[in-house]
């Protein structure tokens, strides 16, 4: 039975500084590199046949560190559809300062809602409309061949994919937060029916 593992990149330099990162190409922090290495340790017991990442350096480097920890040479594809959504004019701004200026309600709408669009940015719906067609065209084909797939991407591109995989309604997605470098495993049966969802940790959930 195939498995799909979703993983958000390790902490970036702008995560560390509490800034809106979005589509900006910001590297990992030293702690983010450590998180990626720890994720690699968690994945050692799994067979991974193919890996996908966005084109942004924080996701690319996270995957590189994981594969080094696994001592694995597997096919890797960089996919722009997996890139983080743009936060438009908010990118580079401190999140706490944005919340103070615009209020908690507007801040949360921009960050977590499905439909709300930051000034000159993209909504989660925009991201959904890029990620899900990629998944249907590329990943489903691999899973049907009983391949285990690792996807390293970003908070919002993964939230969009989780919406689709777990059939989460737009009104509920604002409650979903994805931690950095914590593998989330999806197990499917031979007909690609989802049978189990769990985080991979030192102690199995």
Active-site residue set: 9, 84
Q: How far is CA 166 from CA 73, 77, 142, 170, 178, in A?
A: 30, 24, 19, 12, 14
Q: Which of 128, 96, 94, 125 is nearest to 19 (CA)?
A: 94
Cα separation of 11 and 15, whole Å? 6
129's tokens: 């409309």
121's tokens: 């940015």
């Amino acid at each position: 039975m195939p498995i799909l593992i979703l993983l958000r990149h390790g902490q970036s330099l702008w995560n560390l500084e509490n800034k809106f990162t979005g589509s900006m190409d910001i590297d990992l922090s030293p702690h983010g590199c450590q998180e990626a290495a720890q994720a690699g340790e968690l994945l050692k017991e799994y067979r991974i046949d193919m890996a996908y990442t966005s084109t942004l350096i924080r996701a690319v480097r996270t995957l590189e560190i994981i594969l080094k920890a696994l001592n694995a040479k597997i096919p890797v594809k960089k996919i722009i559809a997996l890139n983080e959504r743009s936060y438009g004019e908010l990118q580079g701004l401190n999140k706490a300062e944005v919340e103070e200026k615009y209020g908690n309600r507007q801040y949360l709408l921009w960050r977590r809602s499905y439909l709300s669009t930051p000034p000159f940015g993209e909504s989660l719906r925009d991201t959904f409309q890029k990620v899900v067609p990629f998944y249907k065209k590329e990943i489903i084909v691999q899973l049907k061949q009983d391949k285990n797939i690792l996807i390293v991407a970003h908070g919002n591109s993964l939230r969009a994919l989780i919406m689709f995989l777990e059939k989460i309604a737009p009104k509920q997605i604002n409650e979903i937060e994805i931690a950095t470098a914590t593998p989330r495993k999806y197990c499917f049966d031979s007909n690609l029916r989802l049978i189990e969802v769990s985080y991979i940790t030192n102690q199995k959930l």
